[in-house]
Structure 1
Amino acid sequence: MIIIGAGIAGLAAGCYAQMNGYRTKIFELHNQPGGLCTAWQRRGYTFDGCIHYLFGSGPGQPFYQLWQELGAIQGRQFVHHDQLTTPYQYWQRIYGRAIYNAEEIQESGILIDQLEQFYPGIKADIEFVDVATPLSYERYTGNWQGSSCGWLLNKQTMPLLITGLPKTLPGLHHFYQIGQWVEPGGSVPVVAMSGRNIIQQICHEDRKTFMTTIPQ
């Protein structure tokens, strides 16, 4: 089985393929695996490739078993932060006015205060703050109304969480698409589940029982 891309979806697919007896090779253009969950360093600073939503990953939540099967959370603890969300229309309305910058400063202050509760002393270590609003995401990524995950959930896209998008292309046999852009909703857990689901589908097509294991 050839997997193109060593992002979270590709890595998850490779893990589940191995669990089910498939031989795999993963090809990646970058010099390290992880896709958008990688980071780079410059002048002593580390920059994340993107924000990483891990909702639903704690004990008793939908994606907890997924991370257990992948051996990703053994010995680790999840810290849940309150999610700060503001409507696109609000930022669009105040754009270009003094209140826009004031709101950015206020939002960053709230977030830093929350981080300080979990990581005492982090406020003193912060040298520079840059705030991304929905307009920032729209400008740099082209995502509709600045959706941070690429998919903005609304009346049109919400049903796709259930029905999903096609994972195959006409005329290409044994070719499957996985990852961020074929899984409405986005986030790291959903992308990893995309890799799991496609191997489960392939097992079904091959009339094999889909198997999972939890590393100790």
Structure 2
Amino acid sequence: MKHKCGDAIVIIGAGIAGLAAGCYAQMNGYQTQIFEMHDRPGGLCTAWQRQGFVFDGCIHYLFGSARGQPFYQLWEELGVVPQQQFVHHDELLRVSEPDGKTLIVYSNPDLLEQHLKELSPLDRRLISDFCMGIRTFTRFDLSLLQQQPKALMQLGDWGKLARKMLPFVCPLARWGNLSAADFAEKFQDPFLRRAIPQMFGWEDIPVMVGMSLLAYMHTKNAGFPLGGSLQFAEKIADRYLELGGEIHYESQVEKIVIEKHQAIGVRLYNNEECYADRVISACDGHNTLFSLIDRQYVPREIQRYYDGHLPIHSQLQVSLGVNRDLSAEPHWTTHLLAEPVVIAGEERYEIGVKHYCFDPSLAPQEKSVLMVVLTTNYEYWQRIYGRSIYDAEEIQESQILIDILERFYPGIKDDIEFIDVATPLTYERYTGNWQGSSCGWLLTKQTLPLSIKGLPKTLPNLRNFYAIGQWVEPGGSVPVVAMSGRNIIQQICREDNRIFRATIPIFTQRI
């Protein structure tokens, strides 16, 4: 069966990038349809309910949560703010040793500086420089790098961008080429040398990125959306539908239809076809390049991005529904272990634990959601997938973690009402993401230059095809992939000699 869409755009994937592209396309007079393999929107920006508990799988903080701050306008156009409420934390997380010594990563640079100097007076100068960097980044507009499609920028545009970036060139160069693990080696204090690699969540993160996060938390521009990631994604899906778009759920694309080196539509696994003037892939990059289209259209330099040399983030998430109110506990603590523990075939020297009591909608009254997320090896889980040992391994690893949690929360074993385990194979099964990656390419000092310039959004020998989302915007943060969808419609408007327009919902204008 063949469905003709007319003068239209077909979008593959109803994640944040695909929904954003659909919204902006509809704003600019294009007729769009989104084909989504799952039964709900959001892609990786999701959550799931189990026995009254909501386990969130994505957003820890969202840039753009404060009016007048970078990325706020984006969420305003997509119908999220100002009605969306946010929780703003005064600290990002804590890093604690078995003896109780603790690093508190305050978002306020003054408090953080005082605290760090109390922990290590010998490192005063390094600490002062670091906290001064955070203060500097409170004035840095991270959205500058995404406000205009790179493909459309001319010499004058690059000059304007350079002038805006000029005050931040030195701190960007200094802190962008330094990972948290590299930074830790500069400290004299033994505890901080162990704790600093964990202070932003993972040790390979560029310090500049961590500084920007703390800076935006300090300016109240990095809040957690109440209701969680799925409700957040559903707001954008509602905006898209209100604009006249269509979403086809449980409709997985098998192939992009190509004629005469031009993308003209998609074919689904049920053999239905939908034709359009353009095709935008907002789904997994590996599947797009090596399955949905013929490899002949993919230049070798693009294929090389998927040869294994770039880091990705496959994770194991153990979520617990607990009959205990943990709201008096720090919401996120990384515990440094006295002895390593083997989980999923790897030695672990620290365990990060989060609870979500700051959002009462995610658990029944006086109960809590407790979560442990670890990086893990995709191949480890892939080797045993589909066999009984896979389920047994999920149970075993969750029990190991629960035994560790008993040390930090005595009696917690008896309070657990539900256990949910998500492996990289879970993410792969529900989202189609290559190797179960939770954020495309992991943002490290290696991939930071790619995140600034982005990866190619088009292919040289295939017309009317476009790629957006986390696989062409390394780092994969929610606002960046949403901007990816916005930018591709700006590019398409330029190709069609249309003036790009972005509107704000009427209900938003009245607030």
The answer to whether 1:210 aligns with 2:218 is no
Inter-partner Cα distance in structure 1 for 2:450 and 2:60: 19
Inter-partner Cα distance in structure 1 for 2:447 and 2:366: 42
Distance 1:9 1:53, change over 3 A: farther
CA contact (8 A) 1:39 1:47 kept: yes
Aligned to 1:179: 469
Matched letter for residue 51 of structure 1: C
Inter-partner Cα distance in structure 2 for 1:149 and 1:78: 22
| CA offsets 1:40-85 (integer angstroms, 9 cap, x no match) | 334444343x222443212232110000001112322222234333
Inter-partner Cα distance in structure 2 for 1:176 and 1:37: 21
The answer to whether 1:161 aligns with 2:403 is no
Distance 1:19 1:124, change over 3 A: same
The answer to whether 1:32 aligns with 2:40 is yes
User: Cα distance, 1:153 vs. partner?
Assistant: 2.7
- TM-score, normalized by length of structure 2? 0.35
Quick check: 88-97 or 177-186, which moved more?
A: 88-97
CA contact (8 A) 1:151 1:185 kept: yes
% identical equivalent positions: 57
SS in 2 for 1:132: strand
Aligned to 1:132: 373
Quick check: 61-70 or 168-177, which moved more?
A: 168-177
Query: Which 4+ residue blocks in structure 1 deviate beyond 6 angstroms?
Result: 89-93, 136-139
The answer to whether 1:83 aligns with 2:92 is yes
Matched letter for residue 17 of structure 2: A
Aligned to 1:13: 21
Matched letter for residue 449 of structure 2: P
CA contact (8 A) 2:17 2:483 kept: yes
Inter-partner Cα distance in structure 2 for 1:159 and 1:55: 22
Distance 1:170 1:91, change over 3 A: farther
Aligned to 2:406: none
Inter-partner Cα distance in structure 1 for 2:501 and 2:358: 41
Matched letter for residue 476 of structure 2: G
Distance 1:24 1:5, change over 3 A: same
Matched letter for residue 56 of structure 1: F
Quick check: 26-35 or 39-48, which moved more?
A: 39-48
Distance 1:68 1:5, change over 3 A: same
SS in 1 for 2:467: coil
Inter-partner Cα distance in structure 1 for 2:460 and 2:340: 44
- How many residue pairs end up in the alignment? 202
User: Cα distance, 1:163 vs. partner?
Assistant: 0.9
Matches within 5 A, 1:24-103: 24-48=32-56, 50-58=57-65, 59-81=67-89, 82-84=91-93, 85-88=200-203, 95-96=340-341, 103=350
SS in 1 for 2:448: coil
Matched letter for residue 52 of structure 1: I
User: Cα distance, 1:13 vs. partner?
Assistant: 0.5
Aligned to 2:215: none
Inter-partner Cα distance in structure 2 for 1:10 and 1:207: 23
Matched letter for residue 92 of structure 2: Q
CA contact (8 A) 2:87 2:358 kept: no
CA contact (8 A) 1:134 1:148 kept: no
Inter-partner Cα distance in structure 2 for 1:165 and 1:46: 35
Distance 1:122 1:201, change over 3 A: same
Q: Which runs of 5+ in 1 are unaligned?
A: none
Q: Which runs of 5+ in 2 are unaligned?
A: 1-8, 94-199, 205-334, 381-422, 426-432, 507-511
- TM-score, normalized by length of structure 1? 0.75
CA contact (8 A) 1:12 1:70 kept: yes
Inter-partner Cα distance in structure 1 for 2:475 and 2:77: 22
Matched letter for residue 201 of structure 1: Q
User: Cα distance, 1:32 vs. partner?
Assistant: 2.1
Hey, which of these two has a bigger chunk of strand by percent? 2
Which of the two has higher C-alpha Rg? 2
Inter-partner Cα distance in structure 2 for 1:87 and 1:5: 28
Aligned to 2:264: none
